[in-house]
Structure 1
Amino acid sequence: MIATPTTPTLPTHLQTVDEFEEWERTYPHEGNYEFVRGRIIPKPAMKQEEIFITSFLIRQFYQSSLSKQGDELLPELDSYVDGVRKRIPDLTYVTAEQKQAIRRKERISTIFAIEILSDSESYEDVLDKLQDYFDGGAQLVWYIAPKRQKIFVYTSPDDSKTYKGQDVISAAPVVPDLQFVVAEMFA
């Protein structure tokens, strides 16, 4: 018989990110969880095929001038929206200043989040995440749809543009020299 992982019973009485993080420290568990207004949301681990997308994006970022200044594009880093919301983007842009804030145990929110659309995400899930990122101060969010080989670029929860094929996508104005042909990411 093959053992299957079980989802732990998650508490329903937590109201703040502080309470949620205390629960995480007190009750060790596997996996990551987002916290949104009292809901604990399991964050599935990155799928094997997604490693090619994240690897490509990180390599592209390391060629940017901001990378040379100490900024990074990091996977699955906590992004704090406010006292009742914490998200975990698949990739997030982190400035050198934000890394110093993390070292001082301060909470940061993402300026530029990248999400890879999974089969389990609903359209409502996407809209909720977008709203949370922008509420937290994001200036740019990319939603990558691997099956459609498209990237949806959001500059607000309501303003987006779609890139595909031979389109050149840019992370300007956040990371002006992060740009590439979309098809190269899916090659």
Structure 2
Amino acid sequence: MIATLVSPELPTHLQTVDEFDAWEREHPHEGSYEFVRGRIIPKPAMKQNEIFIADYLIRQFVKTSAFQQGDALLPEADSYVDGSRKRIPDLTYITVEQKQAIRRGERVNTLFAIEILSDSESYEDVLDKLQDYFDGGTQLVWYIVPKRQKIFAYTSPDESKAYKEQYVISAAPVVPDLQFAVVEMFA
């Protein structure tokens, strides 16, 4: 017998990430969900026109010393902010130490999140995600805006710098040797 994945009716009574994760295990479904203070937020899969961005970034990451040491840049992996918030960045940086913690059953939050702005995201959505990432200990967030061919590098929820065209962006201090001219990513 083959199990069929269905889109379950989303519960409204869950308050913690533990309750949400238990619900997800009990209700197989398609797609991913973020969980933020009792709200279950559908996380659409990466669109085909965003794949080239993720592919470029991962290919640049494998050239870094962080990759050589065993760190990873993974697509759409869970990032736990606290007991009531779980986000899923488009790309998540995970250190060797964090991978070991995950093997021990611990939950980790990314130190460096990369988000690709989608048409369905509002400015409020962006602000909420930024706040959540930094509340969990994230040190750097890149928000990529494909339509404008820009990357906004946030070092806090309120501090950012925009990069475009020939400007070289760096993931310092998290991954200092991950750097490139923005125009190369959109070529």
In 2, distance between residues paired with 1:84 and 1:95?
A: 23
Tell me which residue corresponds to 1:182: 182
- What number of residue pairs does the alignment pair up? 183
Q: Which runs of 4+ in 1 moved over 4 A?
A: none
The within-5 A match list for 1:23-38 is 23-38=23-38
Q: Secondary structure at the match of 2:74?
A: strand
Tell me which residue corresponds to 2:170: 170
Q: Secondary structure at the match of 1:147?
A: helix
Q: Which amino acid aligns with 1:9?
A: E
Unmatched 5+ stretches in structure 1: 1-5
Deviation per residue, 1:115-136 (Å, 9 max, x gap):
0000000000000000000000
In 1, distance between residues paired with 2:95 and 2:25?
A: 27
In 2, distance between residues paired with 1:107 and 1:8?
A: 25
The within-5 A match list for 1:22-171 is 22-171=22-171
In 2, distance between residues paired with 1:68 and 1:27?
A: 38
Alpha-carbon RMSD across the aligned residues, in angstroms, is 1.1
Q: Indicate conservation of the 8 Å contact 2:7/2:29, yes or no.
A: no
Give the fraction of aligned pairs with identical amino acids, expressed as a percent: 80
In 2, distance between residues paired with 1:147 and 1:8?
A: 33
Q: Indicate conservation of the 8 Å contact 2:144/2:152, yes or no.
A: yes
